[in-house]
Structure 1
Amino acid sequence: MTHEVATEVADLDVEVFRAEVRSVLADFGSRLDPRQFFHGRGGATRELYQELGRRGWLALGWPQPTGAVPATLAHEFALWDELAYARAARPDLASGIVAKTLVVHGTDEQKETFLPGIAAGRIGFALGYSEPEAGSDLRAVRTRAVRDGDVYRVTGEKRWTSDAHCSDYLWLLCRAGEAGGHTLLILDLRAEGVDIRPIETIDGHRLNEVFLDDVVVPVAHRVGDEGQAWNLIREALAVERHLMVLPGRVRRDLDDLVSWARGTRAFADPVFRARLDRLEIDVCATEVLAAEALARALEGADCAAEAARVKLVGSGATQDIARAAFEHGYVEATDRDGDLAFLWRESVMETLAGGTSEIMRSVLARTEFGLNPR
């Protein structure tokens, strides 16, 4: 993002910027599926990223090379929150985790190679972290990179890899060096030896298995030193936590439930109306907790505890919203092609993606109470 664009956006009131985002979405809307948010980061979503890139908006949250918080961090949150409410797109992994790491820790060659394309929305990344025996506990990663002159030869398997089938590169966590330290590589998903196979989910989304068989990766595409990956991943997560759960998505789910109820006998049911009131409280709590996490991020502080709380409350709220009509016995909600049935299927994923509820509780136990849960 140019300095001129950064200054222009930073000078805008955040609510004015939100209105501008909504205007762009209104113009772009006919090209998006009503459930585009849930369809991954390819196709029409990539086209939307490119539109955001033309406006310089994909780089709003990029730190200064020193790691300093950008003046447009609140605008970045507003951008993705509006896109979440519109069900248009999730945050781009390339312009988030990848770019924010490269800005601070990438080589000059890496910055020149990747950052312009990421900022323009042309380059997509998938996260190659989890494996069959390494889900939430990434210390168990086994994928191995063996140095061979100016390249690494990578062999292993990644699983549950969102968007690998529509991305250009894999942000790969592997083991390298004699000590087998955790290392980050940028692996070209079009390289020989890469085999991507689909895993279909209950909501119709696609995850992937990615098999790597002696895949060649230039040493120049190693990010940081061998064995440094944990520090880089933790730092990247720290600057992305405020985007972990976007309250606009949770608010939209409740708005859709209320809209559905108004057209049925459910809205006249006092017991169901009381359930809607309780759900409204949960959504408001999600919004407040997300604001707290953003405030901490704007201070340049680690918002791990705040993000864990919003993840717990927000993901729980999406499940409760999706289940409400079914639990009150309204068969009208069971239409398989209807929004509520879709949200029920999709909500099953919510407390798993981005860290399970158990992991979030462990984060809170450590950061808030000084405990060391096992």
Structure 2
Amino acid sequence: MGSPHIVGIVGLGVISRQYLDLFATSPAIRVAAVADLNAQRAAEVAATVPGATAMTVDELMAHPEVQTVLNLTVPAAHAQVAHAAIAAGKSVHGEKPLALTVAEGRGILDAATAAGVRVTSAPDTVLGTGIQTARRLVDDGAIGTPMSASATWVSPGHELWHPAPGFYYAPGGGPLFDMGPYYVTSLVHLLGPVVAVTGAARRARAQRTIATGPQAGERIEVEVDTHVSGLLEHAGGAVSTIVTSFDAVASTSPPIEVHGDRGSLVVPDPNTFDGEVRLAELGGEGWRSVTTSAGYADSGRGIGLIDAVAGDGPGRAGGALALHVLDIMESLLRSSAEGRRVVIDTAVERPSLVPLTAASEWSRFRS
């Protein structure tokens, strides 16, 4: 039923291949155009995608068939590309974060509303079976009343593996804006929206040295905080904590734990789509693995766009949720800078649960 949704991709860096791989498995999406500042890269990618044409960004925006622009540019360009797409009458699905600031994010959503187009955003990893199975357990009362959660992501820094890591240390980067969206979005899915935050952030070094690739040995100026800890107060009464860091070697903490008065959950890495969910119940015999019960199975990056085009609205990865997550992250940094608790201005409804949906089912979704 229906026709494939036509997409044009702007920005063909490392992450673009994951989107292209998913779209290649589903008739729900057809990639008609690709663009990149590196014209040779665009031509090389187009040659691997049946029916796709390499073109400039302006040409892609003017393409009469393209319905949604997939914005995979660096964070500093997210708002500019989104506005160009909206002005051309096209919807936007963007990589995280939605924009560099809440003000920019609001501008994108306001422009989209005025133009009658849709904004959706990564991360959509939260729609996979890992986070959604944990969400179902929370909803079904397996842990009783949710009381708290913790989220932890640490590393020594992306300059150790990424060939061009400069943008990770510029505004829109740092561990919170880079990895935090996976964790904060998961916490909103699990426990609901956030009403206030308290944060503490630090910057360990003024420079980083690139370790690999053609820029190896070059030094990067660090413009953002590289360790951020925060306390999130959820509207439903639960309190969660988050740690994101480019200043730690490793951690034994689970990516996410959720605690209630009757049980606790270990939730898998929210940067992936699946993984083991474990439950410990009050009076039980310790931790046990839980059968997968919700989420898009065998999915990948881009499932949030597929989820949206299959329905009438923005879907479960809508722009309002991305703006709320951006507000939480920006407020954590403001809280640290100002030394006070910050009330969150944005409000969003907790996205609906994704029923357990096999790839054979979601791959047939059409617009």
Provide the TM-score with structure 1 as the length reference: 0.28
Higher strand proportion: 2
Instruction: Give the number of the structure with larger relative contact order, counting CA–CA contacts within 8 Å between residues 6 or more apart.
Output: 2
Structure having the higher helix fraction is 1
- The structure number with the bigger radius of gyration is 1
TM-score (normalizing by structure 2): 0.28
